[in-house]
Structure 1
């Protein structure tokens, strides 16, 4: 059985969400997010940079959430939640999956790290990262106009982007992108999202 080392509100929610949608059994062990735990010798053997999550499947151990998503799809999904490899739709699926982490999550992570390390924060730095994140929200907004999900049908790319939308909702109080708000509301109603976010009410991006 897959085993996930999990911290609420972190990228491990992507794995919970995906497995719930696929009906793939997942053993979840919640761990501490404290620096003491994450930089302990024991944890560094699982994740060499002291981050979360970690996924284990037998002898295999992984520490990158996007790679975990793709591994689960390729090994356990039987063609579900991703288009056929080598097709234009699969290229777009990969684009949005990478966008969710490499492009969208980056400025959000910079906001978190800045506020953690600088007290008081430097407003100009945070403003720049907020503007970059909102460009990503606009990209999502435009992509889902007239569609239920990024590719029309729900795929794991929506999970990858959905986590970043959740984080954006926590860090940036409001914006006026109605299509993105409606898309987020649809994601929040999915069984996998409810399971992944637990007691957290993802709410609306405009709140």
Structure 2
């Protein structure tokens, strides 16, 4: 039995989306952020990190959305949402999958943190702004002539990318990157993400329902 411990406005929407794409049955246990936008202490009773998403599949308990996506696809996906193993496309796909929560996440999250706390220091802003520009330009160049990151086929990396872009779009960071905004719109128009948002709520405050 698959159980998803889901937090509103979080990366766990990615997991709900993949489960919907795969047509898997699951139990949803929902949590609400507190007044400081933090996860409630109850999540720490499920996994020591106390963050969402948390996936429970029989006796296995996993956190980290990228790990959960890989696990679910490998166990239940039959290769439907990844390129074939050992191919150049698979290597490129996995590079993008890791890019979302490594190179791309740092400048994105620093920018969002600065917006919430009244601004970054001059030194940190001097690093963050060009890094975010480079990140979004990189994504823009990739999706300018593709429906999805790997072409015409939805893959795990699109599911992984969705949360990051939704948070940036709602912080007005995609205004200068229409190709990225259009790509996010295509993701939000998929049946799987629509269902995930219907079940778990929008990915970030201000997101379109």
Shorter-chain TM range is: 0.7 to 0.9
- What's the CA shift for 1:93? 0.9
- Alpha-carbon distance between aligned partners in 1 of 2:166 and 2:43, rounded to the nearest angstrom: 26
1:193 equivalent to 2:193? Answer yes
Equivalences for 1:107-146 in 2 at 5 Å?
Answer: 107-114=107-114, 118=117, 120-122=118-120, 124=122, 125-126=124-125, 128-146=127-145
Aligned mates of 2:12, 2:79 — CA distance in 1: 22
Work out whether 1:87 is the aligned partner of 2:99: no
C-alpha deviation, 1:15, in angstroms: 0.2
Tell me if 1:65 matches 2:65.
Answer: yes
Cα displacement (A) at 1:50: 2.6
- Relative to structure 1, the CA distance from residue 135 to residue 80 in structure 2 (aligned partners, 3 Å threshold; closer, same or farther) is same
| CA distance in structure 2 between the partners assigned to 1:110 and 1:174 by the alignment | 15
Which stretch of the first structure deviates more once superposed, 106-115 or 20-29? 106-115
Q: Does 1:17 align with 2:17?
A: yes
Alignment of 1:19-34 (within 5 A): 19-34=19-34
5 Å-filtered alignment, 1:95-106, equals 95-106=95-106
Q: Calculate the TM-score normalised by the size of structure 2.
A: 0.83
Matched, 1:178 2:178: yes
C-alpha displacement of 1:123: 5.7
Q: Is the counterpart of residue 166 in structure 1 residue 176 in structure 2?
A: no
Q: Which residue of 1 aligns with 2:150?
A: 151
Number of corresponding residues: 200
Find the aligned partners of 1:130 and 1:67 in 2 and give their Cα distance.
29
8 Å CA contact 1:144–1:180 kept in 2: the answer is yes
For residues 137-189 of structure 1, give each alpha carbon's deviation from its aligned partner in whole angstroms, at most 9, with x where no partner exists: 21111011221111102101111112111111122344322321221111110
Equivalent-residue separation in structure 2 for 1:128 and 1:51 (angstroms)? 28
Superposed CA RMSD in Å reads 2.5
| 8 Å contact kept, 1:9–1:197 | no
TM-score (norm 1): 0.84
Contact 2:8–2:32, Cα closer than 8 Å, also in 1? no
What are the ranges of 5 or more consecutive residues in structure 2 without an aligned counterpart? none
Residues 132 and 172 of structure 1, relative CA distance in 2, 3 Å threshold: farther
Contiguous gaps of at least 5 residues in structure 1: none
